[in-house]
Amino acid sequence: MESTEQTRSISGSMQSPRSPSSLPYLSVSVTDPVKLGNGVQAYISYRVITKTNLPEYQGPEKIVIRRYSDFVWLRDRLFEKYKGIFIPPLPEKSAVEKFRFSAEFIEMRRAALDIFVNRIALHPEVQQSEDLRTFLQADEETMDRFRFQETGIFKKPADLMQMFRDVQSKVSDAVLGKEKPVEETTAAYEKLKHYIYELENHLAEAQKHAYRLVKRHRELGQSLLDFGKAVKLLGACEGEPTGKAFSDLGTKSELLSIKLQKEAQQVLMNFEEPLKDYVRYVQSIKATIAERGTAFKQHCELAETTKLKEINLDKLMLTRSDKVGEAEIEYREIKAESEVATRRFERIVTRMEEEIVRFQEQKTEEMGVAFHQFAKGQARLANSIADAWRSLLPKLEASSAVQI
């Protein structure tokens, strides 16, 4: 069941529930951040509202309370289960304690979490995940339990096996004298990897400057405020009409200061944040690339091991050894594992191909929106600055006419 390719709105509200019920929809919003707990234990909780007509869900609307680590749980699960798919990124944990509860940070995080969940809800494959349903519907206690299981030191047995196998393969590599890790070497894939790594650098730089630009807006706003005040004080020392002119100038300056602060906020939310999100996305792709690398290695190794076992088996069969039975069983087991590993790897490859296409289209759309909003915001700001100053000119003209 796929949701149709909508124009994705970042705010998370997609089709309205009023649309004909035949059209499947799943829309989520993350709202209403509230600080809970005290001191070091304090955290923010969010209201997650799900609206859907999908039968797997418990009803048309469901509201649950979630915290950041619940989102982390969801992402970790999806990352494990849907290898090859670019799971949307999460906003970072904040290192700086002071900043963690600032209004700006909370809002930025809320918006990012909202986008996160909605992207998952829109993804044709991932949206069917049971973990997603758990996340969106389970009551808080259940959620806590799940989360504790996952993020605690009690890792699931499957993970332990995986870790063990990784170590094993590293050891065997060393033993067999394999220095170089096994890697795919297709030209197309190489190109993709190179692209992703380079892209991250470029984007990070752009994002850095975007963030600085936000600061510059704030600084300019502040200096206009201070300038306005100083000019007004100066006007108070001068007689008329200069005094009045200064006073008008100062007032306008203060007014524009406010506009600049507003625009700073807009640039932050609508331009810098999307860029940051873009960077995170690319980083998550890198993680997927790493997964693919691991899967490829497994596939290669198991294929090789299988071949060895096959050769061994053939040898034993020729010599009509009584170990044939055992060897045959081993061989079949390894072969099955190898096939699993190969399928896993191939599924990742297929998924990634689709995902790349999706990613590019999605990013073009999202960046287009971000650029458009940025340009609009700057245009609006510039025009209101022009209007404000322009309105002062007739007054200034009048004043200077009086004077001389």
- Segment holding 370, helix H or strand E: helix 324-403
- Please select the residue that binds other proteins; options are 63, 65, 324, 369, rule is CB under 8 A: 369
* 4 forms part of the interface with other proteins (CB under 8 A): no
Tell which one of 16, 22, 38, 186 touches other proteins (CB under 8 A): 16
Q: Are 64 and 139 in contact (CB under 8 A)?
A: yes
Cα separation, 126 vs 86, in Å, equals 10
Stretch that binds other proteins, among 11-19, 71-79, 84-92, 116-124 (CB under 8 A): 11-19
User: What CA–CA distance (Å, rounded) separates 280 from 223?
Assistant: 34
Is residue 360 a contact residue for other proteins (CB under 8 A)?
Answer: yes
Q: How far is the CB of 286 from other proteins (least distance, A)?
A: 16
230 binds other proteins (CB under 8 A): yes
Between residue 196 and residue 215, which ones bind other proteins under the rule CB under 8 A?
Answer: 198-199, 202-203, 205-206, 208-210, 212-213, 215
H/E element holding 319? none
Positions 242 through 261 that interact with other proteins (CB under 8 A): 242, 245-246, 249
Give, as one character, the DSSP assignment of residue 34. E
Q: Which is nearer to other proteins, 301 or 355 (CB)?
A: 355
122, with CB counted inside 10 A (0-12, 13-18, 19+), is buried
Beta carbon of residue 349, minimum distance to other proteins (angstroms, whole number): 16
Strand, coil or helix: 50:
strand
Contact call for residue 23 and other proteins (CB under 8 A): no
Size of the site for other proteins (CB under 8 A): 73
Give the span between the Cα atoms of 253 and 232, in whole angstroms: 10
Instruction: Let me know: does 233 contact 294? Beta carbons within 8 Å.
Output: no
* 326-345: contacts with other proteins (CB under 8 A): none
SS3 content of the chain, % helix, strand, coil (to 5): 70, 5, 20
Local structure of 170: helix, strand or coil = helix
| 134-163: contacts with other proteins (CB under 8 A) | none
Q: Least distance in Å: CB of 402 to other proteins? A: 10
Give least dist CB 278 to other proteins, A: 10
Residue with Cβ nearer other proteins (70 or 263): 263
| Maximum separation of any 2 CA atoms in the chain, in Å | 121
Told to check if 187 binds other proteins by CB under 8 A, we report: no
d(CA 269, CA 111): 9
Q: Which stretch binds other proteins (CB under 8 A): 70-78, 100-108, 146-154, 379-387?
A: 379-387
**404 near other proteins, judged by CB under 8 A:** yes
The yes or no reply on residue 2 touching other proteins (CB under 8 A) is: no
For residue 92, state whether it binds other proteins (rule: CB under 8 A).
no
Q: Does 21 bind other proteins (CB under 8 A)?
A: no
Complex with other proteins: residue 275 or 302, whichever CB lies closer: 275
265 contributes a contact to other proteins by CB under 8 A? no
Measured from the CB atom, the residue of 346 and 361 that comes closer to other proteins is 361
Other residues' Cβ atoms within 10 Å of the Cβ of residue 142:
12
CB of 1 to other proteins, least distance (A): 21
Is 231 a binder of other proteins (CB under 8 A)? yes
Shorter beta-carbon distance to other proteins: residue 128 or 223: 223
Q: Does residue number 236 form part of the binding site for other proteins (CB under 8 A)? A: yes
CA atoms of 54 and 51, how far apart (whole Å): 9
Residues 6+ apart with CB under 8 A from 200: 279, 282, 283, 286
Nearer to other proteins, 11 or 319 (CB): 11
Q: Residue 52 forms beta bridges with which residues?
A: 26
Closer Cβ to other proteins, 70 or 248, answer by number: 248
Closest among 41, 21, 12, 177 to 111, alpha carbons compared: 12
* 229 counts as binding other proteins under rule CB under 8 A: yes
- Quote the least distance from Cβ 51 to other proteins, whole Å: 13
Instruction: Please check whether residue 329 is in contact with residue 358, taking contact to mean a CB–CB distance below 8 angstroms.
Output: no
Using the rule CB under 8 A, is 392 a contact of other proteins? yes
Three-state DSSP string of 99-132: HHCCHHHHHHHHHHHHHHHHHHHHCCCHHHCHHH
Q: Which stretch binds other proteins (CB under 8 A): 35-43, 117-125, 131-139, 357-365?
A: 357-365
